[in-house]
A and B are shown apart, each in its own frame.
Chain A
Amino acid sequence: MHYSNRKTLVVAASLAAILTVAGCHKKHPAPPPPPAPPPAAATPTATITANPTSINPGDQAVLTWQTTDATNVSIVGLGTVASSGTQSVRPTQTTSYHLVAQGDGGSADATATVTVNTAAPAPTAPSESNIDENAFEQNVKPIFYDYDSYDVRSDAQSTIQADASFLNQHPNLKVVVGGYCDDRGSTEYNLALGENRANAAKQALVTAGVSPDRLRTVSYGKEKQFCTEQNEACWQQNRRAQFTLDQ
Chain B
Amino acid sequence: MTLSSPRKSVCFCLLLLFGFAVAPEPGAQAQDWVRTGTNLGVSKIRIAAADFKATTADTQTAGMKSAFDQTLYNDLRYAGIFDVVSKSMIPNTTPGTPQEMQVAQWSAEPSNAAMVAFGNLGVNGGRVNVQGFLFDTHSTTNPQVLGKQYGDTATVEAARQIAHRFADEIIQTLGGIPGIAETKIYFVSNRSGSKEIWVMDYDGMNPRQLTHLGTISLSPRVSPDNSKVAFSSLGKNGWSIRMFSLDLNRLVAFPAWGGTTLSPAWSSDGNHLAFSSARSGDPEIYVTDPSGQGERRLTAFRGPDVSPVWNPKTNGQIAWVSGRTRLPQIYIMDADGANITRMTDGGYATSPSWSPNGQFLTFAWNRSYGPGAPGGEDVYIMDIASKRWTQLTHDSGANDFPSWSPDSRHIVFQRQQGGHTEIWMMLADGTDQQQLTHGDGSNTQPDWSWK
Is A213 located at the chain interface by the 8 A CB criterion? Answer: no
A196 B304 Cβ-Cβ under 8 A: yes
**A185 at interface (Cβ–Cβ under 8 A)?**
yes
B179 within 8 A of A: no
Among residues of A, the one whose C-beta sits closest to the C-beta of B350 is A186
What's the minimum C-beta distance from B193 to chain A, rounded to whole angstroms?
A: 15
B237 contacts across to A, CB distance below 8 A: 216, 218
Q: Is B107 part of the contact surface with A, judged by Cβ < 8 Å?
A: no
B259 at the interface (CB under 8 A from A): yes
Please pick, from B195, B260, B328, the residue contacting A217 in the complex, using a CB distance under 8 A.
Answer: B260
Give A194 to B259 CA distance when docked, in angstroms. Answer: 12
Question: Chain B residue with minimal CB distance to A235?
Answer: B371
B265-302: which residues lie under 8 A (CB-CB) from chain A? 276, 278, 281-283
Closest to A185 in B: B348
Contacts of B218 in A (CB 8 A): 187-188, 191
CA distance A196 to B372 in the complex (A): 24
A17 contacts across to B, CB distance below 8 A: none
Contact of B321 among A188, A216, A217 (CB under 8 A): A188
Name the residue on B nearest A178 (C-beta): B238
Contact call B234/A185, Cβ cutoff below 8 A: no
The contact of A192 among B305, B327, B369, B401, by CB within 8 Å, is B305
Count of A-B residue pairs with CB < 8 Å: 95
CB-based contact A147/B306 at 8 Å: no
Asked whether, in the complex, the Cβ of B238 is within 8 Å of the Cβ of A189, the reply is: no
User: Is A133 an interface residue when CB atoms closer than 8 A count as contact?
Assistant: no
What residues of chain A lie closer than 8 Å to B304, measured between beta carbons? 189, 192-193, 195-196
- Which chain B residues (44-62) contact chain A, with CB distance < 8 Å? none
By the criterion CB–CB under 8 Å, are A185 and B350 in contact? yes
Assembled-state Cα–Cα distance A193/B348 (Å):
13
- Cα–Cα, bound, A187→B442 (Å): 13
Is the Cβ of B238 less than 8 Å from the Cβ of A188? no
In the complex, B408 has a CB within 8 A of chain A: no
The chain A residue with its CB closest to the CB of B281 is A199
Per the bound structure, the CA–CA distance linking A216 and B260 in Å amounts to: 11
Nearest 5 A/B pairs, CB to CB: A192-B304, A186-B350, A192-B306, A195-B260, A192-B283
Q: Using A188-B307, A217-B278 as known contacts, list a sample of 6 further A-B pairs with CB atoms less than 8 Å apart, ordered by residue number in A.
A: A185-B348, A191-B260, A192-B262, A195-B260, A199-B278, A219-B239
B interface list, Cβ under 8 A from A: 195, 216, 218-219, 234, 237-239, 259-260, 262-263, 276, 278, 281-283, 303-307, 321, 323, 326-328, 348, 350-351, 364, 369, 371-372, 377, 400-401, 444-445
What residues make up the interface of A, taking CB atoms closer than 8 Å to B? 147-150, 185-189, 191-196, 199, 216-220, 223, 232
